């Protein structure tokens, strides 16, 4: 093994506090650090330039300033075309099909731990690092576990990674709480110390509905209740997501979106929250982080959305088309096609799939 | 490690002689050239002398020289100024430019396009050179301006300015509405004759920082008798075309830099030999590499090559990490998202247009530098191609 000072790490620097601290921590640990800023796709807007939360000029400048302060080389990588093709187009296509995608999951696999990793290896880097809250431990096999700060844990978004990628990734802030990271930022005197959290989808300026309206046509149809009664009109099924309560536009509510029938162009709503509950789901595009499939049935803790709690479940079987059938101990609210179902065993992230 | 600088088309180092001449105007002689007192006069004299030096170089009258803040500004003053002259009279006008112009010209023409001016963007051949007959075909009754660059900033191809000048002069003989001819000569000034009479141009743009002078100063040659409206208003400076207190030190630096070009003419031959060595080395030793743009009609310091399976951006960064400064296309477009419009105009695909590497030599480039670059570049391309292979293996590991 090379000495640490000869180990080269490319750090994805967004200008935010987590990635800035990532770079500073790795430098302090003695790595040879290079910073890169990834320029993503920006939606054309009427004002100057486009708009992308994570790629504003301020963010670039903050990242550059941080690199300058640390005295590390810094480059801006232009991923706009690839980001548009692999993330935004996917995002729109999923909505068009009536699903609710999670672009960050795909971005991690395709862009951050895909394209960026390739570029970094081209620069003879030994590792890449990001400011994700998660932990990676590699012996003969690499394991991905939850971050120290359980409220900030982002392992959910990393379920599509594989062994080859994990071997090359460092997530140093995963070992700290957000509070500690903020304290470190002040200690290192980093420009990002005071920056706000970013949580939304980076290429959406206002709301998902506003964004979709620009790219997807309206296609109105009936809104019905589970007993088949027509209660109103919808503007296009892609503007609605399972479990949605606000913005349906019906009086005498509240109503919840419980299903979408793309073929008939019908939106089904219900006043009864119970109608949202499901005990079972089928998932596709399965990834096992270890690269090995466990024997089924297999007991896990599962998460069907980033913000939903862990729930006890059993992966019953692998269907003939490679999909998995998962049964929960207790019914789950708003099981949404397109979102990721992610499996844990203790602290360890085992893998996941896309809900069908 | 001493760095190797191969990005002279982006900017050049400031020469010692230039800096030495500028220093007095940055330190003691701060007078405003328009002031009546002696301190002001010192600045005025220095500016006048610089104007004469530039006029000698361009073979024109000192009164035809307008000092500006940059070549971009010169291009804007010329194009918008000519258009405004006619637009104020309510005329419908037509402008011809090319698809491979610098953004300073291209984007300015696009603005006019949006304001209702007809604009034609002339095609270039696969070799990146304009065919004069293509220009001729585009000329209409209401054509008032042709703006074609002298040498391209990305691929270094030299355009037939003399021939276009002759064409326009011939056409103008029998025309009531004369056509103005503007050329952006920024990249050409170091290497090609810029005798405006020989070129037959009415307007010519140049910049100091591409000829070992300071940044932030340019020139617009404006032929006597040409009709142009100012685009910025203020004082009387620079024939009212570029009002604002003159940047004396920069103007002095420009004068010196332009005068020094002739004393460096001999080194151009050496530069061309070095360039050929590097170019031949790349094309012979690195498989699946190709030169973008003509070999024959090309600036002696420019190489623009593409490699299959290795992206321009990755090459530039990898070379930088080895202390070698290069560029993908032009420095001006590296902040933008689009592939090179120049390479697209040559008929390259989007992927190919993203994969180019530009290396531009300068006065300081040595044979040792070239040997080193060739060695490092060969290894980097090989490495990057291995990664492209890695990319495929990564993809295949992903499920479904």
> Domain holding B330: CATH number?
3.90.1150.10
User: A114 and B387 in contact by Cβ < 8 A?
Assistant: no
Are residues B182 and B106 part of one domain? yes
Q: Which strand (E) or helix (H) includes residue A286? A: strand A277-288
Per-residue CA distances from B384 to A117, B6, B293, B343, B391 (Å): 12, 21, 24, 22, 10
Kindly report the nearest CA distance between residue A286 and chain B, in angstroms. 7
Which residue stretches of chain A have pLDDT < 50? 46-48
Are residues B258 and B269 part of one domain? no
Of the listed ranges A97-106, B134-143, B212-221, B331-340, the least confidently predicted one is B331-340
B91 lies in some domain: yes
B396 lies in some domain: no
The answer to whether B391 contacts chain A (CB < 8 Å) is: yes
User: B400 and A81 in contact by Cβ < 8 A?
Assistant: no
- HSE at residue B381, side-chain half, CA atoms within 13 A, is 22
B146 lies in some domain: yes
Can you give the three-state secondary structure of chain B, one letter per residue? CCCEECECCCCCCCCHHHHHHHHHHHCCCCCCCCCCCHHHHHHHHHHHHHHHHHHHHHCCCHHHEEEECCHHHHHHHHHHHHHHHHHCCCCCCEEEEECCCCHHHHHHHHHHHHCCCEEEEECCCCCCCCCHHHHHHHCCCCEEEEECCCECCCCCEECCHHHHHHHHHHHHHCCCCCCEEEEECCCCCCCCCCCHHHHCCCEEEEECCCCCCCCCCEEEEECCCCCCCCCCCCCCCHHHCCCCCCCHHHHHHHHHHHHHHHHCHHHHHHHHHHHHHHHHHHHHHCCCEEECCCCCCECCCEEEEEECCECHHHHHHHHHHCCEECECCCCCCCCCCCCCHHHHHCCCCHHHHHCEEEEECCCCCCHHHHHHHHHHHHHHHHHHHHHHHHHHHHHHHCCC
d(CA B279, CA A121): 27
The answer to whether A267 contacts chain B (CB < 8 Å) is: no
Under the phi-then-psi rule, with left for phi > 0, alpha for psi from -120 to 50, and beta for the rest, what region is A177? beta
Tokens matching residue A193: 């110390």
B229 lies in some domain: yes
Best of A123, A142, A318 to substitute, by most chain B Cβ atoms within 10 angstroms, is A123
- At which residue do the structure tokens 């995002």 appear? A91
Residue B278 has pLDDT above 90, yes or no: yes
Which residues are CB-neighbours of A71 under 8 A, at least 6 positions away?
none
Residues B158-178: what's their mean pLDDT? Answer: 96
pLDDT at residue B338, as a whole number: 67
Looking at residue A19, the DSSP 8-state letter turns out to be H
User: A162 and B384 in contact by Cβ < 8 A?
Assistant: no
Tokens matching residue A140: 């003969």
d(CA B387, CA B382): 9
Is B332 part of the annotated catalytic residue set?
yes
Are residues B283 and B251 part of one domain? no
For domain A217-271, the CATH class is: mainly beta
Per-residue CA distances from B106 to A169, B101, B103, B341 (Å): 43, 6, 5, 10
Residue B32 has pLDDT above 50, yes or no: yes
Phi, psi of A309 (to 5 degrees): -75, 160
The answer to whether B141 contacts chain A (CB < 8 Å) is: no
B400 lies in some domain: no
For domain A4-194, the CATH class is: alpha beta
Buried b (16+ CB within 10 A) or exposed e, A297-310: ebebebbbbbebee
Are residues B283 and B359 part of one domain? yes
Per-residue CA distances from B105 to A29, A153, B74, B110 (Å): 50, 50, 10, 9
d(CA B144, CA B166): 16
The answer to whether B318 contacts chain A (CB < 8 Å) is: yes
Of B71, B292, B340, whose CA–CA distance to B203 is shortest? B71
Kindly report the nearest CA distance between residue A231 and chain B, in angstroms. 40
pLDDT at residue B308, as a whole number: 85
* DSSP per-residue string spanning A150-198: TTT--GGGGTT--HHHHTTEE-GGGGS-HHHHHHHHHHTT-GGGGPPP-
User: B314 and A39 in contact by Cβ < 8 A?
Assistant: no
- Structural domain ending residue among the three candidates B262, B292, B309: B262
- Structural domain ending residue among the three candidates B217, B236, B262: B262
Under the phi-then-psi rule, with left for phi > 0, alpha for psi from -120 to 50, and beta for the rest, what region is B236? alpha
* Biggest distance spanned by C-alpha atoms of chain A: 71
pLDDT at residue B1, as a whole number: 54
B156 lies in some domain: yes
Are residues B137 and B27 part of one domain? yes
Query: Residue B109 is part of a domain; what is its CATH number?
Result: 3.40.640.10
What does the domain layout of chain A look like in residue ranges?
4-194, 217-271, 277-355
Instruction: Give bridge partners of residue A12 from the DSSP assignment.
Output: A36
- For all residues of chain B together, what is the average pLDDT? 92
Looking at residue A243, the DSSP 8-state letter turns out to be T
Residue B174 has pLDDT above 90, yes or no: yes
Tokens matching residue B166: 């002759």
Are residues B275 and B255 part of one domain? no
Residue B109 has pLDDT above 90, yes or no: yes
d(CA A22, CA B175): 68
Residue B336 has pLDDT above 90, yes or no: no
Buried b (16+ CB within 10 A) or exposed e, B94-115: bbbbbebbbbbbbebbeebeee
Are residues B235 and B287 part of one domain? no
Find out whether B7 and B360 touch, Cβ atoms under 8 Å: yes
Can you give the three-state secondary structure of B194-247, one letter per residue? CCHHHHCCCEEEEECCCCCCCCCCEEEEECCCCCCCCCCCCCCCHHHCCCCCCC
Kindly name the residue from B60, B109, B194, B332 that is annotated as catalytic: B332
Q: What are the tens digits of pLDDT across the range B229-247?
A: 999 999 999 999 999 999 9
Instruction: Give bridge partners of residue A232 from the DSSP assignment.
Output: A223
Tokens matching residue A171: 């997530």
- For residue A164, the chain B residues in CB contact (below 8 A) are 393-394, 397
Nearest beta carbon to residue A287 from set B354, B387, B399: B399
d(CA A36, CA B314): 12
Residue B392 has pLDDT above 60, yes or no: no
pLDDT at residue B24, as a whole number: 97
Q: What are the tens digits of pLDDT across the range B295-304?
A: 999 999 999 9
**pLDDT band, residue B395 (cuts 50/70/90):** very low
Instruction: Give bridge partners of residue B180 from the DSSP assignment.
Output: B145
Find out whether B149 and B132 touch, Cβ atoms under 8 Å: no
User: How many domains does chain B divide into?
Assistant: 2
Which residues are CB-neighbours of A181 under 8 A, at least 6 positions away?
A17, A18, A21, A173
d(CA B69, CA B215): 9
What would you report as the CA-atom Rg of chain A, rounded to the nearest whole angstrom? 22
Kindly report the nearest CA distance between residue B117 and chain A, in angstroms. 22
Tokens matching residue B4: 């190797």
Nearest beta carbon to residue A77 from set B313, B318, B320: B313
- For residue B391, the chain A residues in CB contact (below 8 A) are 118
Which residue pairs from B282-285 have beta carbons closer than 8 angstroms and sit at least 24 positions apart in sequence? Answer: B282/B374, B282/B377, B285/B374, B285/B378
- For residue B398, the chain A residues in CB contact (below 8 A) are 109, 160, 162, 287
**pLDDT band, residue B334 (cuts 50/70/90):** very low
Find out whether B210 and B9 touch, Cβ atoms under 8 Å: yes
Which structural domain, as residue segments, surrounds residue B379?
4-11+265-390
User: A75 and B317 in contact by Cβ < 8 A?
Assistant: yes
Check whether domain A277-355 has CATH 3.30.470.20, yes or no: no
Q: What are the tens digits of pLDDT across the range B339-366?
A: 789 999 999 887 778 779 999 999 999 9
Residue B330 has pLDDT above 70, yes or no: no
Are residues B149 and B253 part of one domain? yes
The answer to whether A123 contacts chain B (CB < 8 Å) is: yes
Which residues are CB-neighbours of A15 under 8 A, at least 6 positions away?
A37, A58, A59, A60, A61, A62, A63, A66, A191, A192, A195
Is A107 part of the annotated catalytic residue set?
yes
Question: pLDDT above 70 covers what percent of chain B?
Answer: 94
- At which residue do the structure tokens 């004299």 appear? B45
pLDDT at residue B400, as a whole number: 35
Which residues are CB-neighbours of B341 under 8 A, at least 6 positions away?
B99, B100, B106, B333
d(CA A254, CA A273): 10
- Structural domain ending residue among the three candidates B262, B285, B307: B262
Which residues are CB-neighbours of B89 under 8 A, at least 6 positions away?
none
ipTM: 0.72
DSSP H stretches of helix in A202-347: 208-215
The answer to whether B266 contacts chain A (CB < 8 Å) is: no
User: B397 and A164 in contact by Cβ < 8 A?
Assistant: yes
Which residues are CB-neighbours of B291 under 8 A, at least 6 positions away?
B279, B283, B303, B304, B305
A277-355 has the same fold as A217-271? no
Kindly name the residue from A54, A55, A104, A107 that is annotated as catalytic: A107
pLDDT at residue B70, as a whole number: 98
Secondary structure class of A24 (helix, strand, coil):
helix
Find out whether B75 and B95 touch, Cβ atoms under 8 Å: no
- HSE at residue B364, side-chain half, CA atoms within 13 A, is 14
Residue B165 has pLDDT above 50, yes or no: yes
d(CA A343, CA A346): 10
Nearest beta carbon to residue A119 from set B314, B398, B400: B314
Per-residue CA distances from B281 to B43, B274, B295 (Å): 50, 10, 15
B86 lies in some domain: yes
Find out whether B187 and B151 touch, Cβ atoms under 8 Å: yes
- At which residue do the structure tokens 């590499």 appear? B289
Of B347, B359, B334, whose CA–CA distance to B282 is shortest? B359
Q: What are the tens digits of pLDDT across the range A54-65?
A: 667 788 889 999
d(CA B59, CA B72): 22
User: A122 and B399 in contact by Cβ < 8 A?
Assistant: no
């Amino acid at each position: 093994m090379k000495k640490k000072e000869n180990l080269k790490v490319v750090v994805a620097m967004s200008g935010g506090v987590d990635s800035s601290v990532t770079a500073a921590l790795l430098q302090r640990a003695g790595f040879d650090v290079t910073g890169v800023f990834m320029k993503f796709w920006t939606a054309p807007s009427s004002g100057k330039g486009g708009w992308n939360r994570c790629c504003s000029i301020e963010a670039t400048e903050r990242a550059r300033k941080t690199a300058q302060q640390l005295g590390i080389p810094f480059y801006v990588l232009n991923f706009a075309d690839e980001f548009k093709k692999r993330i935004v187009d996917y995002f729109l296509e999923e909505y068009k099909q009536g699903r609710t995608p999670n672009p960050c999951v795909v971005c991690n696999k395709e862009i951050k731990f895909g394209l960026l990793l390739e570029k970094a290896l081209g620069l003879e880097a030994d590792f890449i690092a990001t400011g994700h809250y998660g932990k990676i431990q590699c012996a003969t096999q690499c394991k991905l576990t939850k971050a120290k700060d359980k409220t900030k844990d982002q392992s959910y978004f990393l379920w599509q990674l594989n062994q080859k990628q994990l071997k090359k990734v460092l997530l140093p802030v995963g070992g700290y709480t957000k509070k500690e990271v903020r304290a470190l930022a002040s200690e290192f005197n980093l420009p990002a110390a005071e920056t706000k959290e970013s949580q939304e989808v980076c290429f959406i300026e206002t709301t998902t509905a506003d964004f979709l309206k620009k790219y997807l046509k309206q296609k109105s149809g009936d809104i019905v209740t589970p007993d088949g009664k027509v209660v109103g009109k919808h503007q296009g099924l892609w503007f609605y997501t399972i479990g949605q309560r606000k913005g349906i536009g019906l009086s005498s509510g509240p109503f919840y979106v419980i299903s979408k029938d793309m073929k008939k162009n019908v939106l089904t709503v219900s006043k009864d929250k119970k109608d949202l509950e499901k005990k079972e789901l089928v998932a596709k595009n399965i990834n096992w982080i270890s690269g090995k499939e466990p024997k089924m049935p297999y007991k896990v803790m599962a998460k069907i959305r980033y913000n939903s709690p862990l729930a006890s479940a059993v992966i019953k079987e692998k269907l003939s088309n490679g999909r998995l059938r998962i049964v929960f101990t207790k019914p789950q609210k708003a099981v949404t096609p397109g979102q990721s179902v992610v499996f844990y065993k203790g602290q360890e992230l085992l893998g996941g799939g896309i809900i069908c | 490690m001493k760095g190797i600088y191969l990005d002279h088309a982006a900017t050049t180092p400031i020469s010692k002689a230039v800096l030495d001449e500028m220093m007095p105007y940055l330190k003691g002689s701060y007078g405003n050239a328009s002031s009546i007192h002696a301190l002001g006069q010192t600045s005025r004299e220095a500016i006048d002398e610089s104007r004469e030096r530039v006029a000698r170089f361009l073979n024109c009258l000192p009164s035809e020289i307008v000092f500006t803040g940059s070549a971009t500004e010169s291009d804007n003053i010329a194009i918008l100024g000519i258009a405004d002259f006619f637009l104020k009279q309510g005329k419908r006008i037509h402008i011809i430019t090319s698809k491979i112009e610098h953004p300073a010209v291209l984007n300015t023409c696009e603005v006019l396009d949006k304001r209702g001016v007809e604009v034609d963007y002339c095609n270039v051949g696969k070799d990146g050179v304009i065919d004069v007959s293509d220009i001729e075909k585009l000329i209409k009754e209401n054509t008032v301006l042709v703006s074609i660059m002298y040498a391209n900033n990305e691929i270094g191809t030299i355009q037939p300015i003399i021939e276009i000048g002759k064409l326009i002069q011939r056409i103008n003989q029998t025309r009531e509405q004369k056509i103005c001819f503007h050329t952006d000569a920024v990249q050409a000034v170091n290497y090609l004759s810029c005798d405006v009479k020989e070129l037959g141009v009415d307007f010519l743009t140049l910049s100091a920082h591409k000829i070992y002078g300071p940044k932030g100063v340019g020139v617009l040659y404006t032929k006597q008798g040409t009709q142009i409206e100012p685009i910025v208003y203020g004082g009387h400076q620079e024939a009212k075309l570029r009002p604002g207190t003159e940047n004396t030190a920069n103007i002095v630096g420009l004068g010196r830099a332009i005068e020094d070009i002739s004393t460096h003419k001999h080194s151009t031959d050496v530069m061309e030999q070095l360039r050929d060595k590097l170019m031949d080395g790349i094309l012979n030793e690195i498989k699946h590499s190709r030169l973008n743009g003509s070999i024959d009609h090309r600036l002696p310091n420019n190489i623009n090559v593409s490699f299959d399976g290795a992206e321009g951006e990755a090459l530039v960064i990898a070379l930088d990490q080895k202390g070698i400064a290069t560029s993908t296309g032009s420095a001006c477009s590296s902040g933008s998202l689009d592939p090179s419009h120049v390479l697209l105009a040559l008929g390259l695909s989007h992927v190919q247009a993203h994969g180019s590497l530009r290396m531009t030599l300068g006065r300081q480039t040595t044979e040792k530098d070239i040997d080193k670059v060739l060695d490092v570049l060969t290894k980097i391309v090989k490495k990057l191609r291995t990664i492209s292979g890695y990319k495929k293996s990564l993809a295949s590991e992903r499920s479904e």
